[in-house]
Amino acid sequence: MEYRKIKDEDEDRDPVVEDVEKSFSLSGAVQDNNLTSGGETKIDSHRTKAKWKRKSVVTLALTILTSSQAILIVWSKRAGKYEYSVTTANFLVETLKCAISLVALGRIWKREGVNEDNRLTTTLDEVIVYPIPAALYLVKNLLQYYIFAYVDAPGYQILKNLNIISTGVLYRIMLKRRLSEIQWAAFVLLTAGCTTAQLNSNSDHVLQTPFQGWVMAIVMALLSGFAGVYTEAIIKKRPSRNINVQNFWLYVFGMCFNSVAMLVQDFDAVMNKGFFHGYSFITVLMIFNHALSGIAVSMVMKYADNIVKVYSTSVAMLLTAVVSVFLFGFHLSLAFFLGTVVVSVAIYLHSAGKIQR
């Protein structure tokens, strides 16, 4: 499989920095890569800092966008039922992401001119893998309708934490990246902590989930984890390729799959009531939020990885609950407090357990 190519890539190696290095060498400047002069050390530390900063910014953006997304969902639920067609909203999210990527690309072209890395045209070889994540997500979303025959909604929320484990396992297997033993322990804790934080008096129902329900939950977790890890593999396969081009192609296929879903599920509703039927201010907000979150996820895949994504969305889940206390007068449970402690320790351990290279 092609995505195995990146298996030996250093985890701390930055693709963009690597490109900069390459162009340095190509320019023919007298530079010995083995020489560690004072100047180079300075450049190295500058690079590490810039890399760390960018990684932090995209992770923070993802965390904030994901938690505000959950808050918007609660808000929209309080405001009443969904009156609009969900498939049209999903289609618009993909379209908006495409548009944002194109605008960003336009600015880059203006500044840097069109080159090998930022041109929109592509080869079949490059583009052929881009529909796969979108297809996987579609299958997962279809399964979602069936799992509710076996599990109720709060139970489903708890089973969704299996995603964390599946992402970790697939990340290890598909991308051949290593986590230290401490980091694995942290990942188990992250799963347990998130689940603990979501416990309520009805949570024990989930233990009565029938066998088919468990199988479906595990299949869905694997699909979701696979889609995430596969997206990372695609994006990281060509480190020098501009992220906006990669996003554009990912989202074009997202638009295709979503327009099919729209035609199948909501053709009549759209034809009779109109495309924007039932849209409100909050619907527009949610579409913008989903689009930006989607782009943030891509950025995290490019500059960090799936593991960082999972930690980020877990923190977002906790953040949402805390913010909901102030916004909607929610109460925090002892279980939430304990789960937060466990997740915090997991985050600490993930960073403390970093493999020394």
Contacts with a second copy, residue ranges (CB under 8 A): 158, 181-182, 185, 188-189, 192-193, 195-196, 199, 201, 203-204, 206-207, 331, 333-335, 338-339, 341-342, 345, 348-349, 352
Could you tell me the smallest distance in angstroms from the CB atom of residue 136 to a second copy?
28
Burial class (CB in 10 A: 0-12, 13-18, 19+), 17: middle
Could you tell me the smallest distance in angstroms from the CB atom of residue 352 to a second copy?
6
- The distance in angstroms from the start CA to the end CA of the chain is 26
**Token pair in block for residue 217:** 């939950």
Q: Nearer to a second copy by C-beta: 196 or 244?
A: 196
The whole-angstrom separation of Cα 223 and Cα 140 is 6
Closest of 356, 246, 348 to residue 15, by C-alpha: 246
DSSP reduced 3-state for 232: helix
Burial class (CB in 10 A: 0-12, 13-18, 19+), 347: middle
CB 231 within 8 A of CB 295: no
The whole-angstrom separation of Cα 134 and Cα 227 is 8
Q: Nearer to a second copy by C-beta: 10 or 181?
A: 181
Q: Nearer to a second copy by C-beta: 95 or 195?
A: 195
The whole-angstrom separation of Cα 121 and Cα 285 is 32
Q: Nearer to a second copy by C-beta: 102 or 345?
A: 345
Q: Nearer to a second copy by C-beta: 55 or 350?
A: 350
* Sign of the torsion angle spanned by Cα atoms 83, 89, 90, 91: positive
Q: Nearer to a second copy by C-beta: 81 or 331?
A: 331
CB 59 within 8 A of CB 351: no
* Sign of the torsion angle spanned by Cα atoms 221, 140, 291, 238: positive
Q: Nearer to a second copy by C-beta: 259 or 333?
A: 333
Closest of 59, 19, 39, 115 to residue 301, by C-alpha: 59
Q: Nearer to a second copy by C-beta: 290 or 350?
A: 350
Dihedral over alpha carbons 284, 290, 294, 296 (to 10 degrees): 90
Could you tell me the smallest distance in angstroms from the CB atom of residue 317 to a second copy?
15
Could you tell me the smallest distance in angstroms from the CB atom of residue 192 to a second copy?
5
Could you tell me the smallest distance in angstroms from the CB atom of residue 316 to a second copy?
20
The whole-angstrom separation of Cα 120 and Cα 117 is 9
Q: Nearer to a second copy by C-beta: 82 or 348?
A: 348
Could you tell me the smallest distance in angstroms from the CB atom of residue 156 to a second copy?
14
Could you tell me the smallest distance in angstroms from the CB atom of residue 63 to a second copy?
22
CB 146 within 8 A of CB 154: no
CB 5 within 8 A of CB 352: no
